[in-house]
A and B are shown apart, each in its own frame.
Chain A
């Protein structure tokens, strides 16, 4: 088997906080191949965005620090790489789209300039050629009147348009990996669907591998090939999307899926109650020795509070870190 395009293995990231050391990422291992979409889901604060920032080498240091592990792009190690070399990879080989289109674009430069800047930086082309590429990219992300819009400032565009600009910017240098960190969280539902369609079309065209971080289980079901479920800095379940969504092994994944509200065409007189997972994500500074999810789990076993479960193959191409799932499998 050839190397995956991007392989993260045993990545540990720690943050020094006043309350003590917080292990933000705990032995994360994941990989994505060319043309694949990997979904990462989980509640806020479980380490999804940290995973993305570690891959970009953008963890705020201090207080953050990659303690151990490796991140390899086509076999090239990114952990410990010098800033100058990392800058040549950021934006060129790995592009990133952020959560907040309203604030992620620089308000004092035109959107065309901001896209062209990346092209000029990585491909060394003339300002004119870069500007032309910016217009092409704006067309590719289906912005009408792209040539005129290239001269617009971010405040003149809607949220959906701005996110399209972000996508154009991230893809301008045809990166091999695109990290989309909750690209649609801040947008209307209809615009969300458009953005997801757009990402999928562009991916079909360019063959970019995408790491899609989202809360949206529906989007994961539709777009992703593989999915990783994160909880409190660890991956708790990982596998093929269809399989994970239809046969989840970890109680947390089951809960996440149950929480997706259903849209009924004929709501009865008694509305269905919305599901929730009781409790909140624990503080990362005082995780016990056991399973971090145990205090909220409804299938907890005695060993859950004493031993931390590890990822084990529960089904074909499907891993879960859950003692209950393991026990069930053993029966």
Chain B
């Protein structure tokens, strides 16, 4: 089977999965006690049964479940995620405003974690008794053990009180609203450093450990000996012959971790007041803003599904044996 066909098949499965997720989300939210009418009524300072019924009928909440579900799915198909009663804005618009910030944070922290994790893992595998190996062991223990919010808070303390070089909150300085785009970008990158490092720390630990383990295994294999017998220099043996073979576990785990990264981002965004989806999710959960919560759930599932398809394709590109299926 060609890569194109496999990709088409995976996308097909992905769509089915996505629909299943939507149905499940909708069902769960509907059977949960309390609805938007209650929370609107709560904001108004209480309302009688008549008003509640009116609100419900205005938002279509009095219709049978199947009808509500059908409406929801068809509107999602038209990329309309509903209307937020809390923010008084269309959910799609709300999410699209926040999404870039979250994607920037999530992808930059993953790229950082993968790149540095790979490098540290390879270096540690290369010299098992070296200082680098010690550092990797320490980092992985620390990264695993320390909760993300705590790492974030420690970094904030460090950069506020001791060494104030990085901004510790927000995404862009307010004074730059009218500045040219490149100045804004530089400023955003500057603000990105701390949240990115915080979110990357836990995965950095995981990836470096994983790389070290799979590199060590690959380094003992016969084809690495063959590569040496060919006269290849050690660097080439490591970074070409061994590394490509040890990437599999890293790519798989990085793909699987992606959903965890998104939920990790929620915490990091809260700590660093990064204006992303996480902040939005938190506020809409507190406000019982059902359409927004479901929109965010839908979008995170979409991102996770897309990332999993990508992971699968990357694995196939790395290893011809998987490609053959």
Kindly state whether residue A121 has any CB partner on chain B within 8 Å. yes
Contact B231 A89 (CB under 8 A): yes
Query: From residue B297, how far is it (CB to closest CB) to chain A in Å?
Result: 38
> Which of A91, A92, A106, A166 has the most C-beta atoms of chain B within 10 angstroms of its own C-beta?
A106
Interface residues on A, range: 20 to 34
Contact A108 B225 (CB under 8 A): no
Kindly state whether residue B221 has any CB partner on chain A within 8 Å. yes
B226 cross-chain contacts in A, Cβ below 8 A: 98, 104-106, 166, 169
Contact B231 A105 (CB under 8 A): no
A109 cross-chain contacts in B, Cβ below 8 A: 241, 244
Contact B233 A90 (CB under 8 A): no
Kindly state whether residue B232 has any CB partner on chain A within 8 Å. yes
B178 cross-chain contacts in A, Cβ below 8 A: none
Interface string of A52-77 (1 = CB under 8 A from B): 00001010000000000000000000
Contact A118 B230 (CB under 8 A): yes
Kindly state whether residue A316 has any CB partner on chain B within 8 Å. no
Residue of A nearest to B223 (CB): A106
Contact A105 B223 (CB under 8 A): yes
B232 cross-chain contacts in A, Cβ below 8 A: 87, 91, 117, 121
A87 cross-chain contacts in B, Cβ below 8 A: 231-233
Kindly state whether residue A315 has any CB partner on chain B within 8 Å. no
Kindly state whether residue A155 has any CB partner on chain B within 8 Å. yes
Contact B231 A108 (CB under 8 A): no
B119 cross-chain contacts in A, Cβ below 8 A: none
Residue count of chain B within 8 Å CB distance of chain A: 21
Kindly state whether residue B234 has any CB partner on chain A within 8 Å. yes
A90 cross-chain contacts in B, Cβ below 8 A: 228-231
Contact B231 A83 (CB under 8 A): no
With A and B bound together, what is the CA distance between A301 and B222 in angstroms? Answer: 43
Contact A153 B227 (CB under 8 A): no
Contact B222 A121 (CB under 8 A): no
Query: From residue A170, how far is it (CB to closest CB) to chain B in Å?
Result: 8
Contact A91 B245 (CB under 8 A): no
Given contacts A106-B241, A108-B244, contact A121 B231 (CB under 8 A): yes
With A and B bound together, what is the CA distance between A89 and B233 in angstroms? Answer: 12
Kindly state whether residue A80 has any CB partner on chain B within 8 Å. no
Interface string of B312-324 (1 = CB under 8 A from A): 0000001111001
Given contacts A103-B222, A105-B223, A106-B245, contact A155 B321 (CB under 8 A): yes
**Choice from A58, A107, A117, A166 contacting B228 with Cβ under 8 Å:** A58
Query: From residue B73, how far is it (CB to closest CB) to chain A in Å?
Result: 43
A58 cross-chain contacts in B, Cβ below 8 A: 225, 228-229
> Which of B225, B229, B241 has the most C-beta atoms of chain A within 10 angstroms of its own C-beta?
B229
**Choice from A89, A98, A122 contacting B222 with Cβ under 8 Å:** A98
Residue of A nearest to B227 (CB): A106
Residue of B nearest to A95 (CB): B229
B225 cross-chain contacts in A, Cβ below 8 A: 58, 98, 104
With A and B bound together, what is the CA distance between A96 and B244 in angstroms? Answer: 23
A86 cross-chain contacts in B, Cβ below 8 A: 231
Residue of B nearest to A108 (CB): B244
Kindly state whether residue A142 has any CB partner on chain B within 8 Å. no
A95 cross-chain contacts in B, Cβ below 8 A: 229
Kindly state whether residue A84 has any CB partner on chain B within 8 Å. yes
Kindly state whether residue A100 has any CB partner on chain B within 8 Å. yes
Contact B231 A155 (CB under 8 A): no
Residue of B nearest to A52 (CB): B229
Contact A117 B230 (CB under 8 A): yes
Interface string of A148-181 (1 = CB under 8 A from B): 0000010100000000001001100000000000
A92 cross-chain contacts in B, Cβ below 8 A: 231
Contact A91 B223 (CB under 8 A): no
Contact B222 A104 (CB under 8 A): yes
Contact A104 B231 (CB under 8 A): no
With A and B bound together, what is the CA distance between A90 and B231 in angstroms? Answer: 4
With A and B bound together, what is the CA distance between A106 and B209 in angstroms? Answer: 23
With A and B bound together, what is the CA distance between A84 and B228 in angstroms? Answer: 12
Given contacts A103-B222, A104-B222, A104-B225, contact A121 B321 (CB under 8 A): no
With A and B bound together, what is the CA distance between A117 and B234 in angstroms? Answer: 14
Per the 8 Å Cβ criterion, residues 225-267 of B in contact with A are 225-234, 241, 244-245
With A and B bound together, what is the CA distance between A105 and B320 in angstroms? Answer: 13
Given contacts A98-B225, A103-B222, contact A108 B230 (CB under 8 A): no
**Choice from A96, A104, A121 contacting B223 with Cβ under 8 Å:** A104
Kindly state whether residue A88 has any CB partner on chain B within 8 Å. yes
> Which of A58, A95, A118, A122 has the most C-beta atoms of chain B within 10 angstroms of its own C-beta?
A118
Contact A83 B230 (CB under 8 A): no
B245 cross-chain contacts in A, Cβ below 8 A: 106-108
With A and B bound together, what is the CA distance between A91 and B237 in angstroms? Answer: 14
With A and B bound together, what is the CA distance between A107 and B221 in angstroms? Answer: 11
With A and B bound together, what is the CA distance between A219 and B213 in angstroms? Answer: 41
Query: From residue B64, how far is it (CB to closest CB) to chain A in Å?
Result: 55
Query: From residue B240, how far is it (CB to closest CB) to chain A in Å?
Result: 9
Query: From residue B167, how far is it (CB to closest CB) to chain A in Å?
Result: 43
B324 cross-chain contacts in A, Cβ below 8 A: 155
Given contacts A98-B225, A106-B226, A107-B223, contact A122 B318 (CB under 8 A): no
Chain B residues in contact with chain A, CB under 8 A?
221-223, 225-234, 241, 244-245, 318-321, 324
- Between A and B, 30 residue pairs with Cβ closer than 8 Å are A58-B225, A58-B229, A87-B233, A89-B231, A90-B229, A91-B232, A95-B229, A98-B229, A103-B222, A103-B223, A104-B223, A104-B225, A105-B223, A105-B226, A106-B223, A106-B227, A107-B320, A107-B321, A108-B244, A108-B245, A108-B320, A109-B241, A118-B230, A118-B231, A121-B230, A121-B232, A122-B231, A155-B320, A166-B226, A169-B230
Apart from A117-B232, A118-B230, A166-B226, list 11 A-B contacts with CB within 8 A: A56-B228, A91-B229, A96-B229, A98-B222, A103-B221, A103-B222, A103-B223, A104-B225, A104-B226, A106-B241, A169-B226
**Those 9 A-B pairs whose CB atoms lie nearest each other, nearest first:** A91-B231, A90-B231, A91-B230, A103-B222, A106-B223, A153-B320, A104-B222, A96-B229, A87-B231
